[in-house]
Homo-oligomer: A and B are copies of this chain.
Amino acid sequence: MPLHRIYHPLSAFSTSDKQKISERITALYTDVGLPAFYVVVLFTPVENESFFVSGKPTDKFVRVVVQHLARQIPSEEGKKQFSEKYENVLAPFVKEKGYDWEVHVEEVPPDMWRENGLIPPIKFPEIEKEWARQNKPIPY
């Protein structure tokens, strides 16, 4: 569900950093009961000469694009809280290492979303819990 595309300079993250960032991102969702396997994090290294901010090549910027499908956060306050949590996740690996960064989260309607070909059980909390428990999509 949540898809996190992280565009970063080649040397920004070690293998261990990427591991930790993705674990911390995943916890944001499992903490509210979503299946861990919903969370996909893709790191995309971008060459200095292909990454421009202010019209200048950069190796000090991280750009994160997040897409949500399983949940639309209804309130302005809820959205704000999510962004704050997300910033806390990234901070040790981005802010505290001297990078500049930008994040945005999109909410995509889930009508044409499938996991292993199955319609995710957004409307069936009990089934969703079972998917979370087994951490895989199960026909229902």
Interface residues of A in 72-129 (CB under 8 A from B): 73, 76, 79-80, 82-83, 86-87, 91, 95, 100-117
In chain A, positions 6-42 with a C-beta closer than 8 Å to chain B are 7, 15, 18-19, 22-23, 25-27, 36-37, 39-42
CA distance A109 to B68 in the complex (A): 13
Within the assembled complex, what's the spacing in Å between the Cα atoms of A3 and B65? Answer: 10
| Tally of this chain's copies | 3
Query: Per-residue 0/1 for A24-66: is the Cβ within 8 Å of any B Cβ (1 yes, 0 no)?
Result: 0111000000001101111111100111111111000101011
Among A63, A101, A103, A104, chain B packs the most CB atoms within 10 A around the CB of A104
**Are B36 and A41 in contact, CB atoms less than 8 angstroms apart?**
no
| A135 CB → nearest B CB, Å | 6
A63 pairs with B40, CB closer than 8 A: yes
Asked if A112 and B83 make an inter-chain contact with CB atoms under 8 angstroms apart, the answer reads: yes
Residues of the B chain whose Cβ atoms lie less than 8 Å from the Cβ of A82: 112
User: Quick check: B116 and A100 within 8 Å, CB to CB?
Assistant: yes
Report whether A95 and B83 are in contact in the complex, using a CB–CB cutoff of 8 Å. no
Complex Cα distance A116/B76, Å? Answer: 20
> Are B112 and A42 in touch, CB under 8 angstroms?
no
**B42 touching A7, Cβ below 8 Å:** yes
The 9 closest A-B pairs by CB, nearest first: A105-B112, A26-B55, A22-B52, A43-B50, A36-B54, A41-B52, A23-B55, A104-B113, A87-B117
